[in-house]
Amino acid sequence: MPHNQFDKKSEAWSALFSEPMSELVKRYTASVFFDQRLWDADITGSLAHAKMLAAQKIIGAEDLAAIERGMAQIRAEIERGTFEWKLDLEDVHLNIEARLTQLVGDAGKRLHTGRSRNDQVATDVRLWLRDEIDLIGSLLNDLQKAMLTVAEQNVDVILPGFTHLQVAQPVSFGHHMLAYVEMFARDAERMADVRRRVNRLPLGSAALAGTSYPLDRERVARTLGMIDERGQPAVCQNSLDAVSDRDFAIEFTAAATLVMVHISRFSEELILWMSQNFGFIKIADRFTTGSSIMPQKKNPDVPELARGKSGRVVGHLMGLITLMKGQPLAYNKDNQEDKEPLFDTVDTLKDTLRIFTEMVGGQPNPATGRLEGGITVNVPAMEQAALKGYATATDLADYLVKKGLPFRDAHETVARAVKAAISHNCDLSELPLTVLQGFHPGITKDVYDVLSLRGSLEARHTLGGTAPAQVKAQIARHRARLG
């Protein structure tokens, strides 16, 4: 048995404690069964700290070598699944440190010089979250590319655009998809912005006040890749703040919440579009389920679940904000509660992004590399729906304005024309020219160009509008941006 290892948390503290923790309190205070996912960050952070301690001659070169050797073994044990996680050792940090000491003796006990679990855990969570943000950024790009593919294939497909869920004006389905690409692009920007503040180093703050050892915090920051936009080491500049605030986790969860809100809005549309009353699209069977009682059903389970899971991420955001609001400086154990909501937010977000990318864009065909099996669009159903509800009424008003009528009068004139069309049970474009001329004598047969869905679409050529040429320009811009 190596000397002086500790197997129980009380042994990690000191001789000060005169009675052991009850089993219930042990379970209540332990985090090892959820924070063990920080193991890689914990080892990386410890190695950077140890290297700096050796460079500063706070520990010897042989201690550093022993720590590196021990950590390599621990890493292998965890990867192999043979590492024994002990509830008695409370959390990932104490588990790894205890094993290190068991493996390399006194060198292991020197690792914690000038460090506290308070700056250690804040560093670990930041390192872990930084990598997850990078992954989420690339998943957001994958989803945007999938949506862009659908947009490209559907520039000229027309569906009704809605306001108040009432048919408003015809829009290109490609344009509709690009609305979501914009949302996910902003989400990716937000993630990149959050990353800047996540990627700063708390280590060296020790428990709360800094430490008396001559630490080189900037060196540790460099080793860990915590570098700012100017290429300088990014180090938290106030020890009390560094160990205690979890605002970076809150802002990440806020950014994640917005992604989920966007996913949820899109899900709501998919669900509507798949219903028999719309019949606009189909998604592949593997994203739907049947009913145990109604044999005809194909339910949009994946979009529904995503809409539901957005609520859970909103809940995590509220949880984290509430966790923080009453805490005095500096570290409080409350902060241990940051992990499960943060972890679940990351897991939910990554799974949702992956599944939506495949559901929307399909999977690459191994032979051609092209995406197949994504959303199937029912073009006639979309166009038929756009023909209902007098979606080109605004176009008739604009036509009259071009003939010299003030817009308000044109609006009124068209309202009378729509009323007539309703009573004839036909579309505006189906009213004979003589009838239309009864509403305004300036109307000539070129009016039918603007009353068609396509004419209406082509007319909306302002920057960001739904005219196919504009939509194509936007697709090109996004393609160039996403690579």
| Residues with catalytic roles | 164, 291
389: left (phi over 0), alpha (psi -120 to 50) or beta: left
Contact partners, residue 424, CB within 8 Å, separation at least 6: 430, 431
Could you tell me if 159 and 176 are in contact, meaning their C-beta atoms sit under 8 angstroms apart?
yes
Name the one range near ligand ARG by CB under 6 A: 100-108, 113-121, 359-367, 400-408.
Answer: 113-121
Q: Please report where in the chains the tokens 């805490």 appear, as a residue.
A: 327
Using CB under 6 A, pick the residue from 46, 95, 118, 264 that binds ligand ARG: 118
Q: Which is nearer to ligand ARG, 91 or 398 (CB)?
A: 91
- 3-state class percentages of the chain: helix first, strand second, coil last, to nearest 5: 65, 5, 30
Binding track, positions 212-241, relative to ligand ARG; x by CB under 6 A: ------------------------------
Q: Which is nearer to ligand ARG, 31 or 141 (CB)?
A: 31
Name the one range near ligand ARG by CB under 6 A: 115-123, 215-223, 260-268, 355-363.
Answer: 115-123
**Min separation Cβ 357 and ligand ARG, Å:** 33
- Which of 375, 171, 152 has the alpha carbon at shortest distance from 273? 375
Q: Which is nearer to ligand ARG, 52 or 121 (CB)?
A: 121
- Tell me the DSSP string of 167-231: EEEEEEHHHHHHHHHHHHHHHHHHHHHHHHHHS-B-TTSTTTT--SS---HHHHHHHTT-B-TTS
Q: Which is nearer to ligand ARG, 209 or 469 (CB)?
A: 209
For residue 158, list its beta bridge partners.
Answer: 172
Using CB under 6 A, pick the residue from 91, 119, 245, 398 that binds ligand ARG: 91
**Min separation Cβ 91 and ligand ARG, Å:** 4
Coil, strand or helix at 330: coil
Name the one range near ligand ARG by CB under 6 A: 8-16, 41-49, 256-264, 332-340.
Answer: 332-340
Residue 31 contacts ligand ARG per CB under 6 A: yes
Could you tell me if 60 and 54 are in contact, meaning their C-beta atoms sit under 8 angstroms apart?
yes
Please report, as a single letter, which amino acid is at residue 209.
A
Kindly state the DSSP code that residue 338 receives in the 8-state scheme.
G
Name the one range near ligand ARG by CB under 6 A: 71-79, 117-125, 232-240, 436-444.
Answer: 117-125
Name the one range near ligand ARG by CB under 6 A: 183-191, 227-235, 330-338, 430-438.
Answer: 330-338
d(CA 417, CA 423): 10
**Min separation Cβ 62 and ligand ARG, Å:** 29
d(CA 242, CA 250): 15
Contact partners, residue 301, CB within 8 Å, separation at least 6: 287, 288, 289
Residue 95 contacts ligand ARG per CB under 6 A: no
Angle between helices 92-104 and 61-80 (to 10 degrees): 120
**Min separation Cβ 124 and ligand ARG, Å:** 9
What is the signed CA dihedral for 229, 234, 239, 244, rounded to 10 degrees?
70
- Which of 194, 129, 139, 102 has the alpha carbon at shortest distance from 350? 139
Q: Which is nearer to ligand ARG, 252 or 273 (CB)?
A: 252
Name the one range near ligand ARG by CB under 6 A: 222-230, 249-257, 261-269, 331-339.
Answer: 331-339
Using CB under 6 A, pick the residue from 273, 331, 356, 390 that binds ligand ARG: 331
Residue 456 contacts ligand ARG per CB under 6 A: no
Q: Which is nearer to ligand ARG, 43 or 167 (CB)?
A: 43
Q: Which is nearer to ligand ARG, 121 or 194 (CB)?
A: 121
In the numeric block, which tokens belong to residue 351?
A: 């799974």
Using CB under 6 A, pick the residue from 9, 99, 110, 117 that binds ligand ARG: 117
Q: Which is nearer to ligand ARG, 33 or 407 (CB)?
A: 33
Give backbone dihedrals phi and psi of 210, rounded to 5 degrees, phi first: 95, -170
Using CB under 6 A, pick the residue from 335, 392, 429, 470 that binds ligand ARG: 335
Residues that bind ligand ARG (CB under 6 A): 31, 35, 91, 117-118, 121, 331, 333, 335-336
